[in-house]
Amino acid sequence: EVQLVESGGALVQPGGSLRLSCAASGFSFSNYSMNWVRQAPGKGLEWVSYITAGSASIYYADSVKGRFTISRDNGKNSLYLQMNSLGAEDTAVYYCARYFDYSRRMDVWGKGTTVTVSS
Amino acid sequence: DIQMTQSPSSLSASVGDRVTITCRASQSISTFLTWYQQKPGKAPKLLIYAASSLQSGVPSRFSGSGSGTDFTLTISSLEPEDFAAYYCQQGYSTPLITFGGGTKVEIK
């Protein structure tokens, strides 16, 4: 079964850091680009970051640029999101999603992990 | 940045109704338009990609159309399991993708 499972979400104080993980199974992880997408409570979807299959190209939304770092370990079938200098505006459910570069679609999503930034 | 505007933001409909949701891009995005369905507490689910291609396993009552700046998601006959939020996403400026604000389909 094709699956993505996020972990690492937690309650963190403003200014703190957190590292999210996304474990992939059931497909050739190293062949796919990946995205992180987040959803604040009661709000819509917001794209956060993108990484190509071989990590050659990486992009970030302006809202997280300079604070978040996306990475992957194809040997471990895992995607990561290092989040620093967290603020209340980063409170959200974070999803990882498999991305098809040609058709520009995200066809497999994890269930999400919740990040709450609060003192 | 390409802005995506969905309308309406919410609608009430009955089982069996035909439902249409619109998504407008701030500039031409060709057919790089994807639709997702999201139920409360769940991850988004891919419905339509390339504006009109039905994702495998998605019921045929879902269809998409449009190109350029104006796109439509149509549910031909609403089923109870279709009450959810729907989001469009442009991929023209990939990987800098953007989502519409969402449309919540509620039971009348």
Residue pair A78/A72 in contact (Cβ under 8 Å)? The answer is yes
Give residue-wise pLDDT tens across range A36-65. 999 999 999 999 999 999 999 999 999 999
In angstroms, the CA A71 to CA A48 distance is 13
Counting one residue from chain A and one from chain B, the pairs whose CB atoms sit within 8 A come to: 68
- For the record, the structure tokens of B40 come out as 């409360």
Sign of CA dihedral B97, A109, B36, A39: negative
In angstroms, the CA B73 to CA B105 distance is 12
Residue B83: pLDDT over 90: yes
Selected for mutation to probe chain B from A38, A45, A46 (highest B CB count within 10 Å) is: A45
Per DSSP (E only), the strands in chain B are 4-7, 10-13, 19-25, 33-38, 45-49, 53-54, 62-67, 70-75, 85-90, 98-99, 103-107
Give residue-wise pLDDT tens across range A89-118. 999 999 999 999 999 999 999 999 999 999
Selected for mutation to probe chain A from B1, B94, B104 (highest A CB count within 10 Å) is: B94
- Predicted confidence at residue B108, as pLDDT, reads 87
In angstroms, the CA A38 to CA B28 distance is 25
Residue pair B29/B69 in contact (Cβ under 8 Å)? The answer is yes
Q: Do A45 and B99 touch (CB under 8 A)?
A: yes
Give residue-wise pLDDT tens across range B19-78. 999 999 999 999 999 999 999 999 999 999 999 999 999 999 999 999 999 999 999 999
In this structure, what is the dihedral angle of CA atoms B4, B27, A53, A103, given to the nearest 10 degrees?
A: 90
